Amino acid sequence: MITFPSEFISRLKKAKSVTVLTGAGVSKESGIPTFRDAQSGLWAKYNPEELASPDAFRRNPRLVWDFYKDRRTAAEKAIPNPGHFSLAKMEKLFETFSLITQNVDGLHASAGSSSVIELHGNLHRIKCSGRCGMVGHWVDDGLAAPRCQKCGAFLRVDVVWFGESLPEAELEKAMLASQNCDVFFSIGTSGVVQPAASLGLMARDRGAVFVEINYEPSAISRLADYKIYGQSGTILPQLLQALL
Ligand SMILES: [Zn+2]
């Protein structure tokens, strides 16, 4: 059993607005490989930019499509872990609860979290790589990279690739949620990838309590008011219990 500092629990119980940012560590506990881990076997010989960038897609749409098909298959087999479920339950305990994720596997929604702010998109969604703006559910004809029925351009997975900017509306929501919370959690993220680090900073600058839950100390640990190291799937259910 984890003993949380009593001051931390009382501050959390008093909070009206809580914002949570989750990263790859949370998905990893459900067996979702991180991007680096996904580059194994068949994919090991490629650089990340050869599998996940607009240039790579222009050069070889089929290769990129197949890489994401593999990643999606892995995500489809995965089920949410106790960390995901605890976060879904936590949203009911506070007046305002915002869940921001860097993960693209959709596991927070599967666990029952409502309105997840997805900074890096969603593996289960596709969009047109042309200008028509079509967004839809994953389709696959099993042969080549499929094309948009509207305009004929190749379809691509709706995730953020290297060299692409984050979806504006989601980023805006994430910034607002970070600037207007009483407690900010950074869970399962190294804090190196932007805007993860800056969201936490924004929260802290506005006086929020900053909590880090991660396997190990990270780039943002020195900013955290409270640090809890270990698996989020073990820590979050106990935190939820402490709040009830
Ligand atoms: Zn199109």
Predicted TM-score (pTM) of the model is: 0.95
Rounded distance from Cα 91 to ligand 1 centre (Å): 37
Same domain, 234 and 192: yes
- Residue that is last in its domain, among 137, 159, 181: 159
Which residue in 84, 108, 120, 124 is the catalytic one?
Answer: 120
Per-residue pLDDT of the chain (244 residues; tens, 9 = 90+): 899 999 999 999 999 999 999 999 999 999 998 877 878 888 888 988 899 999 999 999 999 999 999 899 999 999 999 999 999 999 999 999 999 999 999 999 999 999 899 999 999 999 999 999 899 888 776 767 889 989 999 999 999 999 999 999 999 999 999 999 999 999 999 877 778 789 999 999 999 999 999 999 988 898 899 999 999 999 999 999 999 9
The answer on 204 and 98 residing in a single domain is yes
Counting the structural domains of the chain, the total is 2
* CATH number for 143: 3.30.1600.10
How many A from CA of 152 to the centre of ligand 1?
Answer: 6
Residue 132 belongs to domain spanning: 33-77+125-159
What separation in Å is there between the alpha carbon of 110 and the centre of ligand 1? 28
Angle between helical axes of 232-243 and 6-14 (0-180°, round to 10)? 70
Tell me: do 202 and 147 sit in the same domain. Answer: no
Catalytic site residue 120? yes
Quick one: 21 and 37 in the same domain?
A: no
Q: Are residues 130 and 101 in the same domain?
A: no
The Å distance, Cα 157 to ligand 1 centre, comes to 13
Residue 100 CA, ligand 1 centroid: distance in Å: 28
Do 183 and 190 form a contact (C-beta atoms < 8 A)?
A: no
